[in-house]
Structure 1
Amino acid sequence: MKIEVSDSAIKWFKDEMGLEKGDKVKFFSQIYGTSPVQPGYALGFTKDNSPLDMAVYTEKEGIQFYVEERDLWFFDGHDLFVDYNEEQDELVYNYTKSE
């Protein structure tokens, strides 16, 4: 599994969450939502600079985006691409099957 974050999503994270170089964002599964990879579950995120068991991560502009081992099941063999939709003013998650 890999994580990619677009330039426009990075800008959103910085503007909306006040993230700076050295900060970390954790993606995690949450119940009562919807996603194309896990019915009944959605993807959440939070600023969390104290990862417990970082399984996958990427770094962009000095900010780390990661998933912990306990949430890998959610992705079901998919990579995560995080983008930003300016019209809807929200993050967009795209999942593609890992090669």
Structure 2
Amino acid sequence: MQIKLTDHAAEWFKDEMLLKTGDSVRFFVRYGGTSPLQEGFSLGMNKEEPMDPGVEYTKNGILFFIEASDIWYFQDHDLIVDVDEKSDGPIYSYEKK
């Protein structure tokens, strides 16, 4: 699997989370919410250092990652991250590999 961020999403994370070169953002599975992949689970994100990354993607000097323990959630899909213009927040979509 891969993580793919649009340029707009990378800038949004940098601005909203006050990120600088060398920082990292984890996408993680959380209980509750809705998802097209896993009923009863949703995706969250947090600024933190990786412990056991299963997937990594660096854009504009920022590391975006998913821990190996959360890979099950994606069921052979890539994570696509963009920004919703109306809500001015991240939107996640999934692309079957």
Q: TM-score range by the shorter chain?
A: over 0.9
Aligned length, in residue pairs? 97
Structure 2 counterpart of 1:4: 4
- Secondary structure, counterpart of 2:36 in structure 1: coil
Structure 2 counterpart of 1:79: 78
State the one-letter code of the partner of 1:52. M
Q: Which runs of 4+ in 1 moved over 2 A?
A: none
Tell me how far 1:11 sits from its aligned partner: 1.2
Tell me how far 1:38 sits from its aligned partner: 0.5
- Secondary structure, counterpart of 1:56 in structure 2: strand
State the one-letter code of the partner of 2:70. D
Provide the C-alpha distance between the structure 2 equivalents of 1:63 and 1:21, rounded to a whole number of angstroms.
Answer: 6
State the one-letter code of the partner of 2:2. K
Say whether 1:29 aligns with 2:56.
Answer: no
- Map 1:50-65; keep pairs closer than 5 Å: 51-65=50-64
- Percentage identity across aligned positions? 47
Q: Deviations over 1:41-81 (max 9, x none)?
A: 000010012x1111101000000100011000010110001
Provide the C-alpha distance between the structure 1 equivalents of 2:77 and 2:71, rounded to a whole number of angstroms.
Answer: 9
**Alpha-carbon RMSD:** 0.7
State the one-letter code of the partner of 2:46. T
Say whether 1:66 aligns with 2:49.
Answer: no
State the one-letter code of the partner of 1:61. N
Tell me how far 1:87 sits from its aligned partner: 1.6
